[in-house]
Chains A and B, each alone.
Chain A
């Protein structure tokens, strides 16, 4: 199957700093990428949908000025958590959808564990 990577796999930062998480599709082009976060013992919650070359669409309740998403190429999307606070500590996961919509398969990255002190 297709491979999606995330970098870093984990990060610890101080409150008030910004953290950038990268999501890459390694062997296919992804016209659409999705960002999720997952708190302990909970399911994945969709944060935003990212289309290459256009602005991301955020889910209700997700602050677009706090969670900056950039999808500059067909293989890379980034999520920047600005002015991070302890409540932003979570497991962030991206997924990428192949350009061929009929396939309808989405492939997930391994996740990034963010801890804000």
Chain B
């Protein structure tokens, strides 16, 4: 079973920042936090992952709470192409990713 909890859905306006929350209260010291997103009829797309420190890449930023029991995926300027289901996953390195229900992000123009 998935070990993370996320809101079922969120809405955003185009060109505004989006903060997608995730709770992972059972995380262990060696668990990574991954974010993937999926468009309809496509395979999941890697967004970002981290262990303890905040992470930035060209797609997004990942802010990890000090106690690591929660994290937030930040899309700095949402576009219509960012509308997707976003999955937050905690796992041990080298193990399979177990997907929960994710957050469906809607972006309005």
Give the Cβ gap from A6 to chain B, nearest Cβ, in Å.
Answer: 8
Give A110 to B45 CA distance when docked, in angstroms.
9
Q: Which of B44, B94, B96, B101 has the most chain A CB atoms inside 10 A of its CB?
A: B96
Please state if B42 and A110 are interface contacts (CB–CB under 8 Å): yes
CB-CB under 8 A for A110 and B94, given A104-B49, A105-B49: no
Residue of B with least CB distance to A95: B97
Q: How many residues of A contact B (CB 8 A)?
A: 26
Which chain B residue has the least Cβ–Cβ distance from A103? B93
> In the bound complex, what is the Cα–Cα distance between A63 and B100 (angstroms)?
22
Selected from A46, A91, A102, the residue in CB contact (under 8 A) with B96 is A46
* Residues of B that sit less than 8 Å from A by CB: 2, 32, 34, 36, 41-46, 49, 87, 93-94, 96-102
A residues near B (Cβ < 8 Å) are 1, 4, 6, 32, 34, 36, 43-46, 49, 91, 93, 95, 97, 101-102, 104-111, 113
